[in-house]
Structure formats: C-alpha cells, structure tokens
Amino acid sequence: MLQALDIAILGAGAMGSLFGGVLAEAGHRVTLVDIDDAHLDAIRREGLRLTTDTASRIVSNLRVSRPEHAGSAPELLIVFTKTMHTEAALTSAQALLGPHTAVLSLQNGLGNVERIARYAARERVMVGMTTWPADKSGSAQVSSHGSGEIRLMSADGQSYAHVQRTVDALNSAALNCAADPGVWSAIWEKVAFNAALNSLCALTQCTVGALSNVPDGEALTLKIVAEAAAVARANGIAFDEAHVVGNVRHALAHHRAHRPSMLQDALAGRKTEIEAINGAVVAAARAAGIATPCTECLLQLVRLVDARGAC
C-alpha cells in the first residue's frame, strides 16, 4: 500500500515538473516551488500538461508556491534547480527545511552535496543520478520521452529509513529507482559524458550529431572523457571508461539532433552549468595534481560564452 509523502520540489522546471507531476499522480502531496510566476500561475489555473510516451494529460492536484511563501517543511525536498541556483533557492526557501526533512539532489554535476549541506544536516542529504530526460516547452507544459532510471544514496553513505522511503516513493511513480552505494561512479560517469558533449555543443553551437561531422569532434570528446576518468580514479571512484565512451559514441550516432541543455542555455543567453561540470572536474584534477588540458580549455571558453552579455 502507498505511503503518501509530503513532497516539495525546489526548482520546478523541466525535471522538477516531470517528477512532481508523476509523484502527484501516484498519490503523494506535492508542492512545486519556483520563481517562474508564469509557470506557477498557469499550473494553478489549468494544471500541468504532462506528456510522456504513455499519454498526454493534465495533472491537476499539484500545489504551487514561490520559495519565500513556502509553508511547512515536507518529509522529502527534491532540489531540481540548475546547480548555480541551488544556494539562492535554499536561502529563500528555509521554511522547507525542517529537522525531519530529507533532501535529495539528482542535479547534474559535482558539488551538489556540499551546496545543500550548508542548509541541511548531512545525514538528511541524499545524492543521486537520473537518466530520465525532460523538456519544458512552455508554461505548465512538460514532456519526457523514452525511459530512465534513478540511483541514489545517503550523502554520508549510511543507510537510513528515509532513503528507503524516498526510493519507494519514486518507484510508486514508476521512476525506476534503486538505492545504490556505488552511485558516485554513475555520477562521475555522467559528469564525464556531459563535460565532453555539453561543453563542446555550447561552444560550437553544434547539435550532438554535428560533433561527429569531422573526426576532431569525436577525438576531442574522447580526450575529455579520458581526463575525467583519470580524475575520478585519483579520487578513488571506480570509473568504467569503456561504458562512457560507448555512451558518447551512441549519442553521436543516434541523438544527432539533440541540443544539450548547456547549448540551449547558451543560445538563450542564460548562464550554463559549466562550473559544476567541467569546472568541478578541473578543480578536482588540480587538487590531485593531474593535468586536464582539454577539459580546462573548454571550461575557459564556455566561461567566455557565459560572460558574453556582461560588458
């Protein structure tokens, strides 16, 4: 029988709305917390239009709130802002952080635990990785196609009842979740994939497939994966480089028209998540005394893209 949880999603864009929508459909009491008033108002008026391979439907039992108006602390808070907005979001949503609130980050990149642990006790923080995709096509309109999974663990590596409750809640919404003590390998492998493809696409304005139009493109992606693999291993992480190389080659061949979020952000003049991805790999590399010239060069170039509008 479903144990319905009070859940708040902080950052209810593409991923937050997808997760909030399917969790509300599964019977949980879900509040979407965001600063995008147009999105919140449209959901308040008409519900969330959620399109998946199963159906396109309206989810009408979602509560919505701005962070500064968020009421009581939920049992589970899922942080789904972009990484560079985590701290601002948590600062203005302190009311969501009660002593019994478990906080989960499935954001991309590294440093998510450290950012959240400034606001919540480390034993209440969970970290993970998801391969579910989501796109937001307009206010109150989110879609997700294909399948995905979630792997998560407590940030301090201990097993707690709230970890299993979170896994159960996510599985009640068919999100294919497992507690996994090896989740850091999955996180680093996704970071390597994103460090290679996202930064190159953001810089060149190529779709993923266009990166293989010249041999240099694939060669550069594989160098970045190899650099991230060396840094991960120096940090004691088991890293399956052949698996990541396979994923990169698959994406180049089969996701040809895909525009990674970093490219979408760059095209829209928004800041990218480069610091949490290439930036975090370079910082960890320096701490370990490892050279990562390709990742670092991409970091510096995407920083320039991010700063275009600054003068």
Minimum distance from CB of 81 to ligand NAD (Å)?
4
Q: Helix 280-288 vs helix 183-204: angle between axes, to the nearest 10 degrees?
A: 120
Return all residues near 136 (Cβ < 8 A) that are at least 6 apart. 13, 14, 17, 39, 142
Q: Which of 7, 8, 9, 11 binds ligand NAD (CB under 6 A)?
A: 11
Q: How many CA atoms lie within 13 A of 144 on its CB side?
A: 20
Q: Cβ closer to ligand NAD: 80 or 184?
A: 80
Minimum distance from CB of 262 to ligand NAD (Å)?
9
Q: Tell which positions 176-195 bind ligand NAD, by CB under 6 A.
A: none
Minimum distance from CB of 107 to ligand NAD (Å)?
3
C-alpha 23/C-alpha 59 separation (Å) is 10
Binding mask 22-51 for ligand NAD (x = CB under 6 A): -----------xxxx---------------
Q: Which of 52, 108, 278, 292 binds ligand NAD (CB under 6 A)?
A: 108
Radius of gyration of the chain (CA): 19
Q: Tell which positions 244-303 bind ligand NAD, by CB under 6 A.
A: 261, 273
Q: Which of 107, 143, 185, 292 binds ligand NAD (CB under 6 A)?
A: 107
Binding mask 209-248 for ligand NAD (x = CB under 6 A): ----------------------------------------
Q: What residues line the site for ligand NAD (CB under 6 A)?
A: 10-16, 33-36, 67, 80-83, 85, 88-89, 92, 107-108, 130, 133-134, 136, 261, 273
